[in-house]
Amino acid sequence: MNRLLIIGPPGAGKGTQAVKIAEELKIPAISTGDIFRKNIKEETELGKEAKSYIDSGNLVPDSVTNNMVRARLDEADAAHGFLLDGYPRNIAQVHELDAILADKNQQIDRVLLLVADNDELVARLLNRAAEQGRTDDNEEVIRHRLKVYEEETAPLIAIYRERGIVKEVDGLGEIADVTERILKALS
């Protein structure tokens, strides 16, 4: 079974790789950002609730995020596996994901940890910001995001390492090369 998480720092290519790996394994790539946008667009109850927090400039509480993930994992296409991108983001969400999957007699099979040198990531993100005209992404902001990522995800990675399911993959290089490294790590 392929119930996977992809974790990595900003700029490591998680979203790109999630789509490629999911296509290869014939499972859905499930991004929490996509779940939020879909629920808001379709004006579901959870979408309306999330939008009220977002519109007031607040973070969407874990309870809303957890319920959206639970609903998404209940959809038919996720019955035989999935690749989650952007969830869990904290220890409480790790435990909630465990509970969601336990209700189905399932568990996470593998955690793909994309690793990359911070200086390389800064260069990559500055380049992307220039290409997309994102003036808010300067080196100071990017380095702060990388620091926050390290602080917030280190405890999650530790939990999954204890379970022996983390596979580290070098996230730098050509997209196809990284995809090949991930597939090799999964085999």
Q: Residue 170 contacts by C-beta under 8 Å, 6 or more apart in sequence?
A: 114, 115, 116, 178, 181
The active-site residue, picked from 38, 51, 70, 89, is 89
Question: Is there a catalytic annotation at residue 161?
Answer: no
13 labelled ligand-binding = yes
Question: Is there a catalytic annotation at residue 14?
Answer: yes
Q: Residue 183 contacts by C-beta under 8 Å, 6 or more apart in sequence?
A: 21, 24
d(CA 147, CA 144): 5
87 labelled ligand-binding = yes
Question: Is there a catalytic annotation at residue 38?
Answer: no
Question: Is there a catalytic annotation at residue 110?
Answer: no
The active-site residue, picked from 38, 70, 143, 145, is 145
> Are 6 and 14 in contact, with CB atoms under 8 Å apart?
yes
Question: Is there a catalytic annotation at residue 128?
Answer: yes
134 labelled ligand-binding = yes
173 labelled ligand-binding = yes
d(CA 138, CA 49): 32
14 labelled ligand-binding = yes
32 labelled ligand-binding = yes
Which residues sit in the known binding site? Answer: 11-16, 32, 37, 58-60, 86-89, 93, 128, 134, 145, 173
Active site residues: 14, 89, 128, 134, 145
